[in-house]
Structure formats: C-alpha cells, structure tokens
Structure 1
C-alpha cells in the first residue's frame, strides 16, 4: 500500500501561486472595468457637449436670421413710404397720417417708434417755411437747434403724432454728427442707411434706451438719379424710422430669451460706449466668460453690428443629460459585480454557495435597474408622443397664422402694383411685383413643409399600384404644357404601396426629369425596372443638365438646390418629399449623373 502524501510532499509553489492568482485577478478585473466605465462616461460627456454646442450654434444662426428679417421688414416700410411720395406731386400731412395708420405699426412692426419725413429747408426759405407750418395749426413750431447754416432739415411729419414723438417735431437731424453721416450715406447711395448709436430726442430721461435711426432719401420726381452728384441735386428730404433698441428686440427671440444672452454693439468695437442692446440687462462688463460663446458680425443697411451670444444656466440645464451618470453607475456596478464574481470563483468551490447568494443579490439589483430603465423608456416614449402631438398642433397653427399675413401681403402687392401701374411708377410696380412673387413663394414653401411633415404621420393604405399607368397619366398632363419629349415607359410595373403617396413620388421625379431636360432639343425621359442582386429597382432617367456627383449627398436635403433658381424654378422640397415617401415604404433612393449628360434616380420599395 502506497504511503499517504504528506503536506511536505506537495508541490511547493502550487498553493502560493493559486493564492497570488486569486488575489490579483479580481484587482485586474476591477481595474479593466473601471477604465472601461471611465472611457464610456467620458464619451457620453463628449456627446452631450457636442449636442449642446450644435444646438447653441443653430439658435445663434436662427437669432441672426430673425434680427435680419425684422430689420428688412422695417426697410420695406420705408420703401413703401417713399412710394407714397414718388406716386404724388406732393404729400399732405393728412395723406401721410392716413398711409402710416394703414400700416398698423403697433400690430405688425413691434419696436418701431414711428415713420416720419424730414424736409430739407435752405437758409433762404427758413422763415417762409416756419410761417407755412405755423399756419397749419402749429403756432409754436420752430426748427431746433437754432443754428446758422446753409441748409436745415426739419421733422415735419412723424406718425403716430403723439406721446414721445411730439418731442421730435421740428428737430434738425442734419445738425447732429451721427445722424448726419447716415443721412448723407442714404442720400449719396439712394438706399436705406442705418445710423450709429444715438440718444433719441423722444427719450424723457426715464428708463432710457439706446437708439438708432433708419433713413431712405426722397428725391424730386422726374430728376436724374444716375450719379452721386445728380442725387445730391435732386434730394428734397428723407423718410425715416427711429428705434429704441430694447423695444425693437422685445419678443423677437421667444421663450429662449432667458436661455441665451444677446448683446448687440454698434460697429466692431465691444464696449459700453457701443452697446445697443443687452437681453439679460446685467450691468456691462464686456463679453464675460461663458461655457458657450459666439461673436458674429452682420451688416444692417450699410451699418455693421457685432452680436455676442452667451449661454445662460437655463440653456445649459435644458440640454443636460443624465445618461453619463447612468453609464458611470452601471459601469461601476458591473465592474464591482465582475470583481466579486471573479474573487468568489478564485477562492474555490468551498465558497460556491456564498457566491451564488451574492450573485442572486446582484441579479436583483440588475433587475431593479432594468425595471427602472424600462420605466424611463416608457416615460420617454410618452413624452415623445406628447411632443409629436404638440408639433402637429404647432404645424397647423403656423399654417393658419402665417397663411393669413401672406394672403394680406399678396393682396397689398396687387393693390400697390395696380396703383403704381396707374401712376406710371415703374420702380414701385417692380417692387410690388417682387413682393407678390416673394409672398407666393413663401406660401409654396410653407405648403411644402407641411406636406413633408404630414407624410410622416399619415396612415398608409397598401394596395396594388400600376406605376406604368401612373407614369402615362402624368406624362399626358405634362404634354399639355411642355414641348415634345421622347417618352419610354416600361409596361406592367405593378407594386404594393399607398397609391396617393406613390403618385406624388412619381410626379415629382417625372416633373424634375422634364424640367432639367428643357435645354435639350431632343429631350428623352424613361421610366423602367431592373433587377439588382435579386431586388427590383425602379428608375427615372433623363438626358438633361445632370449634376456633379460630388454634391449628390445634398440632393435630398430640404431647400438645398444644385442649380440656380434663375435657371430652374423650384422650392427645393420635391426630392426630400420623394425620399420621405420611399422610406415610408421601406425602400431607399439614390442618384447617378454626369454634368451635361442627364441624371438617373433609382429607388426600391421594400
């Protein structure tokens, strides 16, 4: 019988090696787990920071556009007022008042203090001018400040002629340096000119605001205006609008006004001296440190404005994400769990029961964590459904609220065009026609956006659709308005889909093919079907102008056009609509083209 192996006969290094292994392996697992958790946590923080920056940059561009659009709208007020003078031999005070009242400044042009006319008065006619105005019922009228100079200017009309505006009656703006520079620039260029920062004479000393003025020259009718000298000779005055900057910007940026501080400076210098508007009303201290900061320069009527954007705590909180915290907590829990499991396994089978119990505890923690995550997913889903309903309501509200002003703009442009045509004013007629075209284009853009949005929420009715028959019907309609085109349609191409959506899709593709082949005297358009890797692929091909494939990625972006609108009309929403329809059918779309040799659009339908 072999003798029993004593402890001294066992392998001398086996037990110590196992002990060292059991000691270091859990530490190694914990280290790797924590490093992975740190990298995931850091990655999530980078995503949050990137999203925050992207959202901030988008809002900056949107706010710049809002400022530009508001100022351009007020420029149009001055252009329309100049049209009143151009269409008349002389404009009487009551005519000016009736015209400005019809504009509805308080309802339609927030922040504008009024619309006025300042007349040039040569020194030789000063006394007769004053007597003439006094006879109109203003016995105290005088031009101020009282200075001896070759010419004076006097604010003789300013509507609404009440409140603060009464203080400006008779003021000689040409006598003040900043106003003088803007008036000269407007006179010499014949365009709208914005002044630098001034203190408006309308200010009463209480809650004062920085002011600017916008000028547009009025020339004598029938005079040549083809040079600076001729414009100087023909000038009789200016129509103008004064603005209190805080009132001008009030309400422009909506609910996010407390999330981003917007500071506007006159010129390129950033200082208290040049500060025009500060949205958060904090005492000026320069452009202070902020997590997100952007400084942009923009030109408004020949004047440079520097606009500083600074994120505020409510904006940063709005985009805060708890995902990084979830990643960190989950990673640490899992790292500790793996470390504990590794340690339990390394200590041997004798501790298997304790390991099983610990594992059960950890499993319960994971189940609770999963349940919490499921609840958060359900809450997020409900929130998304609510937001979709609000978005749908918003879209319909926007359609209703914007369509009415657009219709009024269209009606105003038609009325102005008719008046200008009767008066023989080609310049006003041209501007009125351009206004009409712009309003109709805006209506088309809004309608196109609503179509794209509704495509995502409209229920689909899947039925057999004969694409060949649809192509034939659409081409028959196009032939009523277009030149002769060689048309090739593959027969009996039938698919399953929503008939109305597919008709819209095919119509956009065929209309594009016809439009972009208009310059080819032997235009040809083809619809067909091919099989690629066992999948049916449909195509629409033309021999038109084509495009550079380097820009193919922009084809399906809304309002992105690869050709100038002057060459080919369109709103830039046709191809995005086509892509939305095809994706709703589970398919995909792409294009191949060569400049000057036509284009082919391929698509599948799931």
Structure 2
C-alpha cells in the first residue's frame, strides 16, 4: 500500500500506463494482423491444392487415352500403322490430348527375333530402320508407332527405351503390375538444343491375346509391348497452368520434383531460374502427388509483393484506436500529476479535479458503445465484458451459452444465429447488424464484428467479437434518405413548372416573329427577338437536361438485354441529315449487348454522339469508332472520335454539372451531358473516363453490365 501511494510511484504511473497501453496495442494489432495473414494463407493453400488436383486430373485423362490405345490392341487381330495413325488423329481433337508429345507403341523384341523384326519394318517402307542404341542385350524393345509422326517424333522411331534404366524401371513396373506406370525424370530423345525441357513417360502394357496374365511370371511371358506417351514437362504443365487466372499466377511459382526436393530432380519450374532466385517467397507449400507409385513433389511459392494486396485496414484501425487511447490517458494522467507536483498549494482542488477527471474517464470507458464477447468451439458464449452486461442489464450467468440471444429482436433472431453459425462452421470472419434489447427495454442497432481465434498450432479456439451501437447512424441515414427523396421530388416539380413557361416563351417569340413586319424592324429589335428565343430555347434544354440528370440513377423502363447497335441506329437516323452534311463516318467493332433499360442507354450514346458532332475538327472529316469487349461479366465500351479533343487537365472537370470547355461551338451546351453519362454509368456500378484518341480526338471508356 505504501508503494502505491508513494510520490515515486505516482510519477512513474503514467509511464507504466503508456508502456502497458503500447504493449497491449501492439499485441492486439499483431493478433489482428496474424488473423488477416492466416486467411490469406488459407486462400493461397486452397489455390495450390486446386492446381495439384488439376495436374492429377490431367494425368488421369492421359492415362485413359493410353488405356484406350491398349484396348485397341486387345480388340484387334493386328493394329496397322495406318490404323494407329487414324486412331491418334481422332484423339488429337480431345482437349485432354493437349500437352502430350505423342502416342506410340513399343514392341517387345526377343534377341532371337531381332533380325526378323528389323527386316519386317524395313519392308514397310523404312529401309534405313534399325534399333538404337545398337549393341548386344538380353532383350530389346522398339518404338514402331508414334503419332504424330513429325520431325521431332521421328528421332524416337526405333529407339529401345528398355536400354535406359529409368525408362526400363517404369516399363517393368507396368508389365509386372498390369497397370499404368509413370517414369522418373528423363531427357526425351525427341529433344533438341532449342527449348530444352525435362521429360517423363507413361506406359500401359499390352499382352499377347489368349494368354494368362494372373501372375507376374505369366505377364512377363505374355508381354507383347507397351502403349506409351512421352511428355515434355514444360508443355504439359504450362497447358494445365493456362487454365488459371493470369494475374494470380504472376504471384505463384510452381516447381515439380521427381521424388524428393533436390536440384537434380527438378522436372518443371514456372519461373525463370534467375527470377526464381531473386525473389523472397511470402509462403511456401510442398504437396505430394502420387500416380500409381510415382511420387511428385509440388512446391508452391507465393512471392513477396502480393503482401501489398492484403487488406490491413482492421489492423490499422486497431492500432490507431489503441495508440490514441493510450496517449490520451498518458497525457491526461501526466498532466494531472504534474499539476499536483508543481502546485502543492492547490493540492486539495487539484486532487478533486484529478478524481473527477478519473471518474469521467472511467464513466466514459464503461459507457463506451463497445461490447465484447467470447465463444468456445461449441458456439457457446462464455464471456461478456462489463459494457455488454451494463447494456443488457443482465449478469454474466444470465448471458452465458446462448441465453444472450433472448435479448435479440424477434425479427433479427434467426438472421443473427444463421449468420453466426454459417461463419462459425467455415471458420470465417463475419460482420452483421442486428437489434439488441437494452436494459430499459429499448432495442438498439449494433454492428457486430466477429473473428475466429486459433492457438499457435492452429487449433481452433472459438470466436471473439466486438459490437458498437449504430442506432444514431441508422436514424441519421434514414433522415438523409428522406431528405434526399424530398429534395429530389422538389427539384422534379420545380423543373416541371419551369419547363412549361419556357416552352410558351419560345412559342410566343416565334408567333411574334410571324405577326411583326420583320422588314420594318430595326437591327436591334431583331437581335432582341433572336436573343430572347435563343435564351428561352437554351433554358428549355437546360431544364430538360436537369430532369434527365435527376432521373439518371433509376431505370425508366424494364432492365433487360439491349442491343447497342439498335439504339445507335435510331440515333443516327434522327441525325441523318447533319451526319450527311458534315460527311461523318461511323464504325462498329465487336459490339456486345448490355443489361440496362433502353431510355438510359439511349441517353448515354445520344450525349456522346452529339458531343462528337458538335466538337468535330474543321480540318478533316469526322470519324467515330464504337467498340466493346467483355471483362468479368462487364461490357467495356470505347466511344472514340477524331475531333478537337479535350486537354488532359479538363478531362475530369467536364464530368461536373455545368462544366463546359470555353470554345466557340460550346455556346448552346448546357454543361450537364457528361455529368448525366457518369451518373447513369455509376448507378450501374461502372465507371467512365476520357482518354486521348491516337491521332487526336477523345475516347470515352465506360463499362456496363454485360
């Protein structure tokens, strides 16, 4: 007790609180950061496993192709070279054939039949045929069929694969087990000095007809040959990897090893060797892939640089809140303690102020709208902080397990539990809003954020969640929505009431022109009538554009698939005379339909077309090119002209309401057109920008649902 009341302790207390607060903030921020990176790691691991499964599926597909080739030998009295060529050509159209170097047959040749075999093949039109490598051996094999029979595969014609140890081991395994086998790492005889790649071969045994093959000895005696396929690992795996997202694959390096991870066992690497050595992986995962006893090790690396794509906003919020609270408390305590030390004569008053300050701080901390809860692995809540208990007016015992849910609003009860259970089962973070009954019986809106908790060994421990009271925000949002709706209605009514008098003024001026003897009016009177008519006409156009702008964010007819060509064709027909007079040329390239209501799509292209016609270049004919492409279910349109263009510093400003370029041809513009285009596009979750057209002019790039 004396230590707690000593002057030295009081002086050290702010620093202790500062140190404790900084440590606590650091631990909390690190915990949030670890949770974020763990989620990113799980996503990376899932992506790697998907690649592994794709590779296994591709090998299984090639296995089926080889089995079908073996079945052809089993079902035929004799398979000729021509029949084998037709068979392979039919298979080459199958997408699963991609990545295979070829499909061939290697025949078993006993030593006593070697001369007869070579004579037979030479008689088929290959006078230079002979087995390679030459030499005397206990047994021979020869590749007699290999399609496609191109220049590369011709190098393997007559090759004795049984003479090489790695190939022989795989051939013996297939023969003895009567099953598909995959060889280890080899260098294919088809390889040249250009684009050298590691290779592997897949074998399926073919036995003589009507021979027993129940035992290993019987299979060896009945052997006829092997249907096989050589693979260049780069060609095979690049085809598999091409099915994945290019942007994601930019950050993933894949290496495939034959067996254990050793440099000499490397079968494939998706990165250039120099590049692979220059980057530091963010994560590395090794996965095993077993194909009928042949083990491949797949080593995945996610390279540094993808860390910038991780959203650390929650960590920064935690860090900022913790630091600000810690420093606020530190400064508050230090200030009060300094006042006590420096003003001994005011000890009583300062002591009272300090107590009041501490009391206010505790009151603020206890009443802050931050409710914290913890749950275990059975979804049962076992802890609620004092703020929660004070909010609900219940004791900890009354809230344990799922009894806290009794304070949920009946309309939110099922939604809240379903959201919590679904996220819990997937071990994912969640964010939800619901109403919770306060101790006075009033339901308050809460924003609840929950994240899963894991031990150091990644054992799941349960969830931690925090809630803040957003009732006032919800109420203010509702008020703002009502005010926006009222303002929108008022503007529509005002525009409507302004439109009719303006139209009447235009009509009155036109009638006045017809009644007055224009040849007797002086020039000033004629100009006055002209300016009145022009001003009224511009006012009418301005009011019309305002009405279109206000309605731009809402569909004006059913949303459906619309052909842009039909819409532009209608607009061109309406402006056919002007287009013909100025000699404008309009081109369409790769047009895709969009999902939007027809009136708003017509507004977009009407404004862009009128701008192109109005701001055309005087020195050459106007050309307009309209093209589109599909990107992620969005139709990205490019509307390009070769007009006078827009300086780069104005390309964003012209999207503002009443923003116009100060050019001579701009006098009749209302300055709202491009603002309407942006409002329509953004209401469809899109964006619009202006770019310079190569050779001069401006290109509007925007996207709509495709």
> Which whole-Å deviations, capped at 9, do the CAs of 1:489-511 have from their partners, x for residues lacking one?
xxxxxxxxxxxxxxxxxxxxxxx
Q: How many residues align?
A: 344
1:118 pairs with 98, 106, 111, which one?
Answer: 106
2:116 pairs with 128, 140, 157, which one?
Answer: 128
The reply to whether residue 72 of structure 1 matches residue 60 of structure 2 is yes
8 A contact 1:219–1:231 mirrored in 2: yes
Structure 1 gap segments, 5+ residues each? 1-16, 352-534, 536-552, 559-606
> Which whole-Å deviations, capped at 9, do the CAs of 1:92-138 have from their partners, x for residues lacking one?
11111111111126743332101100112233332332232223222
The alpha carbon displacement at 1:24 in A equals 5.7
2:203 pairs with 187, 202, 215, which one?
Answer: 215
Match of 1:93 in 2: 81
1:261 pairs with 239, 253, 268, which one?
Answer: 253
The alpha carbon displacement at 1:214 in A equals 0.6
8 A contact 2:62–2:96 mirrored in 1: no
Match of 1:302 in 2: 293
Question: What is the correspondence of 1:96-495 to structure 2 with a 5 Å cutoff?
Answer: 96-104=84-92, 107-253=95-241, 254-255=244-245, 256-268=248-260, 270-282=261-273, 290-319=281-310, 321-342=312-333, 347=339
The reply to whether residue 56 of structure 1 matches residue 47 of structure 2 is no
Match of 1:527 in 2: none
8 A contact 1:142–1:170 mirrored in 2: yes
Could you tell which deviates more after superposition, 130-139 or 196-205? 130-139
SS in 1 for 2:240: coil
8 A contact 1:271–1:286 mirrored in 2: no
Instruction: Summarize the Cα distance change of 1:320–1:170 in structure 2 as closer, same or farther, 3 Å threshold.
Output: farther
Instruction: Summarize the Cα distance change of 1:25–1:314 in structure 2 as closer, same or farther, 3 Å threshold.
Output: closer
Output the CA distance in 1 between the equivalents of 2:112 and 2:328: 97
> Which whole-Å deviations, capped at 9, do the CAs of 1:63-104 have from their partners, x for residues lacking one?
322222111111111111111111111111111111111112
8 A contact 2:281–2:304 mirrored in 1: no
Instruction: Summarize the Cα distance change of 1:140–1:320 in structure 2 as closer, same or farther, 3 Å threshold.
Output: farther
The alpha carbon displacement at 1:288 in A equals 10
Output the CA distance in 1 between the equivalents of 2:171 and 2:279: 35
Output the CA distance in 1 between the equivalents of 2:268 and 2:25: 46
> Which whole-Å deviations, capped at 9, do the CAs of 1:205-224 have from their partners, x for residues lacking one?
22211111111000112211
Match of 1:35 in 2: 23
> Which whole-Å deviations, capped at 9, do the CAs of 1:135-173 have from their partners, x for residues lacking one?
322232222112223432111111111131111111111
8 A contact 1:105–1:114 mirrored in 2: no
Structure 2 gap segments, 5+ residues each? 341-345, 351-409, 411-420, 427-706
Match of 2:378 in 1: none
Could you tell which deviates more after superposition, 332-341 or 138-147? 332-341
The alpha carbon displacement at 1:243 in A equals 0.7
8 A contact 2:58–2:96 mirrored in 1: no
Output the CA distance in 1 between the equivalents of 2:36 and 2:7: 44
SS in 1 for 2:30: helix
* Coordinate RMSD, CA, aligned: 3.7
Instruction: Summarize the Cα distance change of 1:221–1:314 in structure 2 as closer, same or farther, 3 Å threshold.
Output: farther
Could you tell which deviates more after superposition, 72-81 or 119-128? 119-128
Instruction: Summarize the Cα distance change of 1:148–1:325 in structure 2 as closer, same or farther, 3 Å threshold.
Output: same
The alpha carbon displacement at 1:18 in A equals 12
Match of 1:589 in 2: none
Instruction: Summarize the Cα distance change of 1:178–1:18 in structure 2 as closer, same or farther, 3 Å threshold.
Output: closer
TM-score by length of 1: 0.51
Which of these two proteins has the greater Rg computed from alpha carbons? 2
Output the CA distance in 2 between the equivalents of 1:105 and 1:183: 28
Output the CA distance in 1 between the equivalents of 2:277 and 2:177: 34
8 A contact 2:282–2:304 mirrored in 1: no
Output the CA distance in 1 between the equivalents of 2:213 and 2:296: 29
